[in-house]
């Protein structure tokens, strides 16, 4: 999310400006030390690649398309230090040449997308590559990178403008999760295409994608719990109106009110039920897909 | 008289900082500060109508913030954020007309930005249009094959663009080596700070500070 | 007359492929202009990249009596000017003037002097008005001239051009041929364009599967191998 000038307050700009400056100076030193001379033009050309990639419309649903944002792909291909510098270069040029994001607001945008965003993309990729799951790591990294850097940006805007409401937060969060998931899918698709072109395609099956979807669902559920409304839903409302809400249930519920009562931490109590439900749904779907034959595909 | 790009950049940043320091809703003070870029717009050899229109074109984000403020009954704040965004973008647009993006980047380097970062920026500027042209050719090729809505074609286009970028960077590096590149990129652009730049900077900052804090 | 370029038994293979050069012997005298002909993949460009040390295979490569090794690369690259097939990759700096200055700055020429020499070269090649333009905006012919300017300004003793007529229209090709014929230094021109080879070179070497099959007057080689 590119924040324009005129929105952020001076304290936010000052604090994130200091953090960004230190981050960029340090990243530049590390990138220069770890980038072999022959790869210096590569960083610039890949920065130009990110601009060009935004022209490639990736169909993501009926009548909808997205485009690659690029942070995760950069982090996975040239490492986090070089990716931070390349993303910073992209943000500076977007601000100066295309007015996409402000000039002073680079203080926040660079921190959100070029530092936090790149490392959030890199760490899951690195960790999961070590257990031979680079694709899952790439997807998760892309999702988290877009989601959390957008959340931070919105927090900065919210603190500066004080116009955000809880409802708006929930709406924006949903949007960021969808954008993050789209970035994850596009990044993964681009990665696989690159591997095919470079003759490194492993012929892996789609199993990691199931795990990716599961991971994304858990992420959505865990974050959503923070913003879950305490008000009764439609069904409960009409039950109360009709006076039938206190009727006894024929079977004892495993987790009444969607809470695992044995846990003391409130957030964990609420979210664990959802997580277990998701896992159960996933397990049942997986078993069905294994034993029920598929229909003929066109 | 052309200002040193460092002077232009410092003046722009000073102005944006002054704007950022205004409390939301202080519209009278904001209007006072708006005078500066408007005066500069009419005194400078820049395409006025084009810049005024371009500044409005990039406002969707601020419209969203303003709309929410308006819905919450805070008209002054809505106007404030719209106006502050608009005048900020206008100031940036005027500056980028008076000094090129390349000059501003080099000014950043002279003012302390890491050289490695600026070198990468320069490569990006050089090759944006080249890569965009390649992406456009791929898009047209996909359209001609009726595959505009194909995920596979889109992914392959991204993959191909990426791999070509790798190949291109090898070609560039060979060209650099052939002309004596030894790992450090020489700086080719002189920048000369003159007395006129000192005067312009002093007057500019004094003017901004006066309007912001003494008004 | 001594040889400016002397190659003996040059062999090379890329990391992921079979042998690309299978024992090349080659000489180029000062002031001589030679075409390298042969089909795609015959090893012409790979051979040429050994002459300025970008690739280093087995065998002997000497430029102006300097043996090409890792230690002598800086010196060799002052003597050999290489114009690559892709002008887009060769002109990698954000303005034409800075790109033409690049080689001089690497040679240690002070910035002001490099700037004036570069401007002189641009004027000589009718490109002075493009000095502050992004090379992307030049036409194919203009890019080729700018690339050559960046190499010529370094005063090389031998000029290597890899497929210089790529993307040029017929008038552009004629213009390029006329320009090259006025340059006094030795030239090595890799080309598929027989007409261009005849117009700009007196001698040709024919490459096939990493070897030089024949060497002789350009017209004779073209006729012998039916290279029209």
E strand intervals along C14-146: 19-29, 33-38, 58-63, 66-67, 80-83
**Regions in chain B scoring below 70 on pLDDT:** 1, 147-148, 215
Q: Give me the pLDDT at residue A268, please.
A: 56
- With respect to residue A254, please indicate whether it lies within any of the assigned structural domains: no
Q: Identify which of B176, B179, B188 has the shortest CB distance to residue C98.
A: B188
CATH code of the domain containing A182: 1.10.1760.20
What integer pLDDT is reported at residue A227 of this predicted model? Answer: 47
Helix (H, G, I), strand (E, B) or coil at C160: strand
Q: Could you state, in order of their start, the residue ranges of all structural domains in chain C?
A: 34-49+85-224
Q: E-strand spans in chain A?
A: 58-61, 64-66
Residue C34's nearest CA partner among C176, C167, C197, C164 is: C197
Structural contact between residues C52 and C131, judged by C-beta atoms closer than 8 angstroms: no
Chain C neighbors of B187, CB-CB under 8 A: 111
| C211's tokens | 């070897």
| pLDDT recorded at residue A236 | 47
Among partner residues C77, C90, C97, which is closest to B180 by beta-carbon distance?
C77
pLDDT (tens digit per residue) in A114-136: 999 999 999 999 999 999 999 99
ipTM of the complex: 0.94
Q: What would the mean pLDDT of A165-170 be, rounded to a whole number?
A: 84
CA distance B21 to B16: 9
Q: Which superfamily does CATH assign the domain made up of C34-49+85-224 to?
A: P-loop containing nucleotide triphosphate hydrolases (3.40.50.300)
- H or E segment and range at residue C204: strand C203-208
Binding partners of C (≥3 Cβ pairs within 8 A): B
* Domain total of chain A: 1
- Which of A15, A25, A48, A106 to probe by mutation at the B interface, max B CB count within 10 Å? A48
Work out the minimum CA distance from B129 to partner chain C, whole angstroms.
7
Nearest CA in chain A to B173: A38
Q: What are the structural domain ranges in chain B?
A: 5-107+192-214, 114-178
Does residue A283 lie within any of the structural domains? no
- Render pLDDT for B164-176 as a digit per residue (tens, 0 to 9): 999 999 999 999 9
Strand order in the sheet with C211-217: C80-83, C158-162, C186-190, C33-38, C203-208, C211-217
Nearest to C166 by CA among C40, C58, C59, C30: C40
Rounded to the nearest angstrom, the minimum Cα separation between A124 and chain B is 22
Q: C40-55 pLDDT, tens per residue?
A: 999 999 999 999 999 9
As a whole number, the mean pLDDT across chain A is 79
| Closest chain B residue to the Cα of A6, Cα to Cα | B85
> For position B12, what pLDDT does the model report?
97
In the predicted model, is pLDDT for residue C134 greater than 90?
Answer: yes
Through-space distance between the first and last CA atoms of chain A, rounded to whole angstroms: 40
- Whole-number Cα distances in Å, A51 to A108, A156, B161: 20, 26, 11
User: Is pLDDT above 90 for C192?
Assistant: yes
Sign of the CA dihedral with A187 first, then A193, A198, and A204 last: positive
Residue A26 in any domain: the answer is yes
Contact status of B124 with chain C (Cβ, < 8 Å)? no
Which residues 103-122 in chain A show a CB within 8 A of chain B? 103-104
Chain B residues in contact with C115 by the CB 8 A cut-off are: 188
pLDDT category, A231, cuts 50, 70, 90?
Answer: very low
Ranking A31-35, A247-251, A294-298, C44-48 by mean pLDDT, the lowest is: A294-298
Q: What single DSSP character describes residue A201? A: -
Residue A238 has pLDDT above 50, yes or no: no
Interface residue B45 vs chain C (CB under 8 A): no
The answer on pLDDT for A242 being more than 70 is no
CB atoms within 10 A of CB C218: 23
- Tell me the per-residue pLDDT of C96-133, one tens digit each, with 9 for 90 and over: 999 999 999 999 999 999 999 999 999 999 999 999 99
**Cα–Cα distance measured from residue A256 to residue C83, given in angstroms and rounded to the nearest whole number:** 76
């Amino acid at each position: 999310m590119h924040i324009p000038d005129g929105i952020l307050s001076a304290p936010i700009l000052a604090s994130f400006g200091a953090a960004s400056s230190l981050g960029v100076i340090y990243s530049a030193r590390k990138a220069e030390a770890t980038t072999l001379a022959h790869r210096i033009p590569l960083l610039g050309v890949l920065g130009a690649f990110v601009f060009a990639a935004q022209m490639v419309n990736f169909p993501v649903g009926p009548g909808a398309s997205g485009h690659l944002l690029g942070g995760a792909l950069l982090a996975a291909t040239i490492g986090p230090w070089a990716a931070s510098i390349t993303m910073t270069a992209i943000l500076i040029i977007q601000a100066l040449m295309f007015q996409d994001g402000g000039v002073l607001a680079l203080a926040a945008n660079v921190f959100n997308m070029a530092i936090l965003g790149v490392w959030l993309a890199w760490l899951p990729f690195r960790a999961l590559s070590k257990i031979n799951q680079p694709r899952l790591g790439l997807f998760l990294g892309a999702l988290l990178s877009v989601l959390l850097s957008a959340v931070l940006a919105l927090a900065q805007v919210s603190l500066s403008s004080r116009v955000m409401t809880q409802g708006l937060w929930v709406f924006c969060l949903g949007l960021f999760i969808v954008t993050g998931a789209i970035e994850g899918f596009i990044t993964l698709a681009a990665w696989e295409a690159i591997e095919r072109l470079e003759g490194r395609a492993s012929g892996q099956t789609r199993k990691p994608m199931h795990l990716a979807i599961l991971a994304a669902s858990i992420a959505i559920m865990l974050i959503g719990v923070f913003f879950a409304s305490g008000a009764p839903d439609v069904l409960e409302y009409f039950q109360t109106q009709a006076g039938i809400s206190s009727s006894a249930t024929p079977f004892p519920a495993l987790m009444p009110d969607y809470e695992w009562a044995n846990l003391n931490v409130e957030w964990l109590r609420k979210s664990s039920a959802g997580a277990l439900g998701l896992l159960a749904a996933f397990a049942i779907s997986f078993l069905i897909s294994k034993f029920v034959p598929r229909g003929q595909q066109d | 008289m052309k200002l040193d790009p460092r002077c232009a950049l410092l003046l722009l940043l000073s102005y944006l900082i002054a704007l950022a320091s205004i409390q939301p809703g202080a519209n009278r003070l904001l209007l006072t500060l708006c005078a500066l870029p408007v005066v500069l717009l009419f005194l400078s050899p820049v395409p006025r109508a084009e810049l005024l229109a371009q500044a409005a074109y990039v406002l969707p984000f601020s419209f969203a913030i303003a709309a929410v403020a308006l819905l919450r009954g805070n008209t002054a704040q809505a106007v404030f954020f719209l106006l502050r965004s608009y005048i900020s973008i206008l100031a940036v647009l005027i500056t980028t007309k008076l000094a090129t993006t390349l000059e501003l980047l080099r000014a950043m380097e002279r003012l302390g930005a890491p050289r490695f970062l600026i070198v990468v920026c320069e490569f990006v500027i050089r090759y944006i249009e080249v890569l965009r042209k390649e992406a456009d050719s791929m898009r047209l090729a996909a359209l001609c094959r009726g595959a505009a809505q194909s995920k596979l074609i889109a992914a392959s286009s991204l993959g191909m663009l990426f791999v070509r970028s790798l190949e291109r960077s090898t070609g560039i590096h060979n060209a650099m080596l052939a002309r004596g590149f030894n790992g450090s990129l020489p700086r080719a652009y002189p920048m000369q700070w003159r007395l006129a730049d000192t005067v312009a900077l002093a007057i500019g900052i004094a003017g901004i500070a006066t309007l912001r804090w003494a008004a | 007359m001594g040889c400016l370029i002397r190659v003996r038994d040059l062999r090379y293979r890329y990391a992921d492929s079979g042998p690309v050069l299978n024992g090349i012997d080659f000489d180029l005298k000062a002031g001589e202009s030679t075409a390298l002909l042969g089909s795609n993949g015959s090893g012409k460009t790979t051979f040429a990249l050994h002459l300025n040390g970008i690739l280093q295979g087995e065998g002997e490569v000497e430029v102006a009596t300097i043996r090409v090794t890792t230690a002598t690369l800086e010196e060799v690259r002052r003597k050999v000017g290489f114009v690559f097939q892709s002008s887009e990759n060769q002109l990698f700096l954000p303005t034409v003037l800075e790109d033409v200055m690049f080689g001089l700055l690497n040679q240690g020429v002070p910035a002001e002097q490099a700037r004036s020499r570069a401007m002189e070269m641009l004027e000589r090649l009718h490109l002075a008005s493009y000095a502050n333009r992004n090379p992307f905006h030049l036409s194919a012919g203009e890019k080729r001239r700018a690339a050559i300017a960046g190499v010529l300004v370094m005063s090389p003793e031998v000029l290597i051009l890899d497929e210089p007529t790529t993307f040029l229209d017929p008038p552009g090709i004629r213009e390029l041929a006329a320009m090259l014929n006025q340059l006094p230094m030795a030239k090595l021109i890799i080309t598929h364009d027989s007409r261009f080879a005849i117009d700009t070179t007196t001698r040709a070497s024919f490459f096939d599967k990493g070897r030089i099959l024949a060497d002789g007057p350009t017209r004779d080689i073209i006729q012998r191998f039916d290279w029209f």
